[in-house]
Amino acid sequence: MMKRLDIIQQSIRLLKTRALTSLELAERLEKRGYALAEIERAISECQARKWIDDAKVAEHRAMNALDKRAGRHKVHRQLDAAGVDESTRQRAIEKVYEPVDEARMARELLLARKPSFQRLDPATAHRRAFGLLMRRGYDQDIITPAIEEVLGPIPDESQHVHKDEPNSDE
């Protein structure tokens, strides 16, 4: 029978593989069967020794997301899921994204995909471009102008008359 590791040793082992937030470490320790009181003490110990720092983890993950051309909203959702508190999330995102032109990033992402969008009808291309940028975490105030600049004006589907539909003007 394998002896269970001391909770601090287990915490160190978990933190060696990836920087974790307090919540993520607590969840992993709980999955390994440690009691809540033990987990709270271990988290406090790790914070006191500066082995876990939610602010540093938040900033690091925001930088990684930026490298992948993710928008602020996506980073916000990811950090929220990781248990980073609101003010720490906001500070990390502002620090990392403040010098960045997100509108330019969105346009560059669309330009890279423009050949595949051009094979589609305009309404479908615009819809897919919108979905892509939404999933990447861009704000609608950035998405609409980026799509219009790269793919042209967003078609008004109510103006299209389909061949199968009778035209009311006839």
pLDDT at 165: 47
Q: Looking at the predicted structure, is the pLDDT value of residue 3 above 60? A: no
pLDDT at 158: 46
pLDDT > 70 fraction of the chain, expressed in percent and rounded: 89
**165 vs 58, more confident:** 58
98 to each of 55, 72, 74, 134, 159, how far by Cα in Å?
17, 10, 16, 20, 40
Contact residues for 38 (Cβ-Cβ < 8 A; gap 6+)? 7, 29
pTM of the complete model: 0.79
Q: Looking at the predicted structure, is the pLDDT value of residue 74 above 80? A: yes
